[in-house]
Structure 1
């Protein structure tokens, strides 16, 4: 029986697009941006180039962006879910456990699928398309940190929170890159503790006394 039996045209198109994105995650996450080509994606997804361009008329770069978007959205969802679970359990914004919940969720997200670290954190250094897109993703991830910082008692003002969030994103990215590059020689518990305490310490930084 055909794998498309009983499905609508829209369902088939969506399934083909999803298969191509999954192929892109595999290629980008194991071979890097240089390994992501139209031919390689089609081969991995078991589809022809006709169907590739049906999903991504702008070609290979459009697939790269879709892959990056998909993994970034999954990461944000994992962090939001962990923060929500913390709140549902009665934890407050001032509780250090909130920071541990957020960074722990991100660490677990990377451990669950090793390809994700390369897709989300490192390949933007080697591909200009991903580098530009990476910069566009910063506000969405920074907003997660801003929400935590501004909810603290005696929190810094909005500008301080935004500046700290951007600074923390850079610091945390390099921390996780070092962890991944060293084949996780640092224990997960130590990584989570260091990352969470870094967030907690930086959250109080304020420059509002300077005009």
Structure 2
């Protein structure tokens, strides 16, 4: 077995650390492919077969199966959080920021449905994923609340948290239903409808 604290050596002119990093990325991609497709019960043997690497290389980067699952989830959620915040920052008007955020999230899971299934699918119910989803939901609620406080004109922190929790939870459920085919709309229609819902709390009463 190759342990994580072993020092990889130069081989074929390629630094050992770079080879380990490349294999780690390959294993993460294989884990996403399996968890986001048809293999909710991830195994070390299965992911190594998918990645095309010997099982002994798995332990260069991961202590066990749960460590890989965490890495796959964290990679996906970080990519979405960073790209969504970048889309928000690039927009000018507050309403445009809301639409940009929704559009980025929807397009990300539409173009790579594996990511959406990893984040939202009810078929993936391991205790670890349940906890990871709970933690990431809390993060997104905080991000929405931080970006939306002035936009929604909500000075009370309790009301702001309630609104942010409702919107984040509703969006997650909507994306899950859309990916599963229960909501039959186009990507553009989904963005427009979800953006309208996100903007609704900021609309003045009629």
**Fold similarity call, TM over 0.5:** yes
1:164: how far off?
1.6
CA contact (8 A) 1:79 1:102 kept: yes
Task: Decide which of 64, 82, 86 is 1:81's aligned counterpart.
Answer: 86
Write the deviation string for residues 7-65 of structure 1: whole angstroms up to 9, x where unpaired: 2222121111111101001111111421x1100111111212211112111x1111111
The corresponding residue for 2:165 is 166
Corresponding residue SS for 2:22: helix
Structure 1: runs of 5+ lacking an equivalent: 205-211
TM-score (norm 1): 0.83
Write the deviation string for residues 161-187 of structure 1: whole angstroms up to 9, x where unpaired: 222212211111111111111176212
Distance in 1 separating the partners of 2:26 and 2:54: 12
Distance in 2 separating the partners of 1:71 and 1:132: 15
CA contact (8 A) 1:61 1:129 kept: yes
TM-score (norm 2): 0.85
Give yes or no for the alignment of 1:9 onto 2:16: yes
Structure 2: runs of 5+ lacking an equivalent: 1-10
Residues 163 and 46 (structure 1), Cα distance of their counterparts in 2 relative to 1, 3 Å cut = same
Write the deviation string for residues 152-211 of structure 1: whole angstroms up to 9, x where unpaired: 27333333222221221111111111111117621222211221121122357xxxxxxx
What do you get for the CA RMSD once the two structures are aligned?
2.1
Distance in 2 separating the partners of 1:196 and 1:156: 22
The corresponding residue for 2:186 is 187
1:125: how far off?
4.9
Residues 124 and 83 (structure 1), Cα distance of their counterparts in 2 relative to 1, 3 Å cut = farther
The corresponding residue for 1:60 is 65
Residues 123 and 63 (structure 1), Cα distance of their counterparts in 2 relative to 1, 3 Å cut = farther
CA contact (8 A) 2:152 2:202 kept: no
Residues 162 and 178 (structure 1), Cα distance of their counterparts in 2 relative to 1, 3 Å cut = same
The corresponding residue for 1:178 is 177
Runs ≥4 residues deviating over 4 A: none
